[in-house]
Structure 1
Amino acid sequence: MADKLSKYRSKRDASRTPEPVPQTPPEPQGGDAFVIQEHHARSLHWDLRLEHDGVLASWAVPKGLPDDPGANHLAVHTEDHPMEYLTFHGEIPQGEYGGGTMTIWDQGTYELEKWSDREVKVVLHGSRAGGRFALFQTDGKNWMIHRMDPPAHDPLPDLSPMIPTEHARPPRDPTAYAYEFAWGGRRLLVPIEGGRTTAAREHPWLRPLAESFGSRTALLDGELTTLSGAEVLVFYDLLYDDGHSLVNRPYTVRRAALEALNLSTAHWQTAPSWPGQAHPVRQAAKDQGLPGVVAKRLDSPYEPGESTAWLFIPS
C-alpha cells in the first residue's frame, strides 16, 4: 500500500520544524475527527483537515468556511497530514514550508455523507464550525467548498453611511446624546471578511487591520483624516460583528462593541466619545480647529443616508 504521508514527509525536516513528522507509514483506521487551523503564513488562510483512512485529508481555504450557500470559497487540496496534526499548534520557522504561526481555530467530529476523488460531503460538529459542506474539485489542486444548509449568521450588510443633519445648536436634551468630534475627513466603510478587506485596494496599509481580525467578520464605519501630519482612519461605529448585524441595535450597544475591539495603532484608532458633554466637547473641537461636533442619540439605530438622530453642530 502506498505511503500516504510520503509527500508530507518530503516537504519537512523534522530537525527544523516543530510539526509532527512520523517516520512510518500510517495505519488505515476509521475515524471522524476534524480540525481547522488558522495559519498566518505567507498569506492568511485556514486549513481544514478531515480524518480519513489513517491520515488527515487537507484543504487550504483562503477565506475560511463560507457562511452563505450563495458564495463558494476556494479550497486548495494539499498533501495528507498525520493524525498528530489534530492537536498541533505553534510557530513553523520562517523559510520552512508553511512558515508562520498556526493556531487551532476549531475541532470536533464530522458525519460523512460522500467521499470520492472529486467530491466530499460532510456535516461538521464543532464549537465554531457547524453545518453541511461539500468540497468539490474544479481543476488540478483547486477545489471549492460550498455550504449546503442555510446561512448560520446574518449576512454582511451592504450599506451607505449614516449622515448627520446640520443643527445650529446642541439638542435641548443633551443627556440623550453622545458627542464626538467632526473630523472633516472622508467617510469610509470597511468590510472585513476572511482576514481581508476590499478597502485595502485603495488603502493597502489596511491589510494588517483585516488580518488582525482573523476569521471574524465585521463592518466598520469611520473617517479618513489627518492627525499630526499623518493619514489616520478614525473608527466611530461598528455595524456588523462576528456573524451578527448591529444596524438595528442602539448606538450604545454598537459603541460598546466597537470599544471592545481595542482598535488603536498609528494608522487607525477608535474615536473618543463623550455622553452628555455637549459644551466641553464643542469647545475642545473649536480649540483644535475642527469643524464641529456630532451629537448621536444614545438610543438610535444605524440609519443609512441623512438622519436626524445624528446632528452636526458647527464649532
Structure 2
Amino acid sequence: MSDKLSKYRSKRDPKRTPEPVPDAPSPSPEGNAFVIQEHHARSLHWDLRLERDGVLVSWAVPKGLPADPGTNHLAVHTEDHPMEYLTFHGEIPQGEYGGGTMTVWDTGTYETEKWSEREVKFVLRGERASGRFVLFRTRGKNWMIHRMGSAVRDPFPPLSPMLPTERARLPKDVAAYAFEFAWGGRRLLVPIDGGRTDAAREHPWLRGLAESFGSRTAVLDGEVATLGGAEILLFYDLLYDDGRALLDEPYTARRAALEALELTGAHWQTAPSWPGEAGAVRQAAREQGLPGVVAKRLDSPYEPGPSKAWLFVES
C-alpha cells in the first residue's frame, strides 16, 4: 500500500514547524470530515481539505469558495494532508514550506456525490460554508471550483459614488444631518473580494487592507487626501458588507457598520463624523484650511450620482 503522506512529510521538518507530522494516516470515525483554513502565506488563500481514505485531499483556493454560480475560482491541487490537520492552526515559521499564519475558517462534514481523477462533486455542511460544489481538473495541478445552485450573496453594487449638492448655507434642521469634513482629495471606491481589491493596481498599499478582510466582501467609499505630507485614504461610507448590499440602508446603519470594521492603518482610517454638530465642524474645517463640510441626511440611502441628501457647504 502506497504511503499517501510521503510527499507531505518530505516538505516538512517536525523540528522546525508546529504542523502535525504523523507516521501514518489516521482516519476519523465518520470518514467524511472537511476543513477550510485561511492561510496568510506569501499570498492569502484558503485551503480546502476533504477526508478521503484516511487523509485530507487538499486544494489551495486563492479567492476562497465562490459565492455565485456564475463565477468559478481557481483551485490548485496540493499534497494530501494528515487527519490531524483538521484542527491545526498556528504560525508556520517563515522560510518553511507554507510559512505564515493559518487559522481554521470552517469545519464540518461533507457528502460525496462523485469522485474521480478529474471531477469531485460534493455537498458541504459547515457553519460558514454550505452547499453543493464541484471541483473539476483543467490542467496539471490546476482545477476550478464551481458552486451549484443559487448565489449566496447579493451582487456587488455599481461602483458609482454618491455626490453632494453644493449649497451656500448649512441646513436649518441640523439634527437631521451628520457633518463631515470635505477633505479636498480624490474620491475612491474600494471593492474587496477574496482578500484582494482592484484598487491596489493604482495604490499597492491597499493590498494589506484587502488581505486583512480575509473572506469578507466589502465595497468602501472614501477619499484619498494628503494629510501632514502623507497620502491617506479616509473612508466615510460602506456600500456592501459581507455579502449584503447596503445601498438601501439609511446613512446611520451604514455608518455604524463602517465603524464596526475599525479601519485603522498607516495609509487608511475611518473619517470622523459628527451628527448635529454643524457650526463647530464648519469652524474646524475653516481653521484647518479644508474646503468645507458635507452634511449627510441621517435617514438617506446611498444614491449613486448627484443627490440632495448630501450637501457641500464651503468653509
TM-score for the superposition, normalised by structure 1? 0.98
Deviations along 1:111-155, whole A, 9 cap, x unmatched? Answer: 111100000011111111111111000000000000011011112
Q: Residues 29 and 53 of structure 1 are in contact (CA less than 8 Å); yes or no, is this contact kept in structure 2?
A: no
Please state how far the C-alpha of 1:274 moved relative to its aligned partner: 0.3
Change over 3 Å in CA distance of 1:75–1:45 after alignment to 2: same
Aligned residues: 315
> By how many angstroms is 1:266 displaced?
2.3
- The residue type paired with residue 17 of structure 1 is T
Q: CA deviation at 1:303?
A: 0.1
Verify the 8 A CA contact 2:114 2:121 in the aligned structure 1: yes
2:48 and 2:260 map into 1 onto residues whose CA distance is 29
**Following the alignment from structure 1 to structure 2, what is the Cα–Cα distance between the partners of residues 102 and 264?**
23
What's 1:155 paired with?
155
Q: Does 1:275 align with 2:288?
A: no
Aligned to 2:266: 266
- Residue type of the partner of 1:7? K
Q: Which amino acid aligns with 1:277?
A: E
Question: In the alignment, which residue of structure 2 is the partner of 1:168?
Answer: 168
1:69-218 → structure 2 map (5 Å cutoff): 69-218=69-218
CA-based RMSD of the aligned residues comes to: 1.1
Whole-angstrom distance in 1 between the partners of 2:214 and 2:310: 32
| TM-fit CA distance, 1:25 | 4.9
Equivalent residues in 2 for 1:284-299 (5 A)? 284-299=284-299
Q: Percent identity?
A: 79
Partner Cα separation in structure 2 for residue 29 and residue 129 of structure 1:
22
Within 2, Cα distance between the matches of 1:145 and 1:313? 50
Q: Is the 8 A contact 1:19 1:92 kept in 2?
A: yes
Give structure 1 stretches of 5+ with no counterpart.
none
Q: How many angstroms apart in 1 are the aligned matches of 2:29 and 2:137?
A: 25
Q: CA deviation at 1:36?
A: 0.2
CA shift digits 1:163-188 (9 cap, x unpaired): 00001101121100000000011000
Conservation of the 8 A alpha-carbon contact between 1:180 and 1:293: yes
Q: Cα distance, 1:30 vs. partner?
A: 6.2
Q: Tell me the alpha carbon deviations over residues 251-307 of structure 1, each in whole angstroms, 9 at most, x when there is no partner.
A: 000000000111112210100000011111111101111110000000000000000
Secondary structure of 1:255's partner? helix
Per the alignment, residue 31 of structure 1 pairs with: 31
Does the residue aligned with 2:78 lie in a helix, a strand or coil?
strand
Provide the rounded CA distance (Å) in 2 between the counterparts of 1:240 and 1:28: 40
- CA–CA distance in 2 between the matches of 1:269 and 1:12? 40
Kindly tell me: are residues 304 and 252 of structure 1, through their superposed partners in 2, closer, same or farther at Cα, counting changes over 3 Å? same
Match of 1:227 in 2: 227
Structure 1: 4+ residue segments shifted above 3 A: 25-30
2:240 paired with 1:240: yes
Looking at structure 1, the residues matched to 214 and 240 of structure 2 have their Cα atoms a distance apart, in angstroms, of 15
Match of 1:295, SS?
strand
Separation of aligned partners in 2, 1:313 and 1:110? 57
Q: CA deviation at 1:29?
A: 7.7
CA distance in 1 between partners of 2:262 and 2:15 (Å): 39
State how far apart, in whole Å, the 1-side matches of 2:238 and 2:179 are. 17
| Contact 2:274–2:281, Cα closer than 8 Å, also in 1 | yes
Distance in 2 between residues matched to 1:30 and 1:5, nearest whole Å: 20
User: Cα distance, 1:158 vs. partner?
Assistant: 2.4
Structure 2: runs of 5 or more not aligned:
none
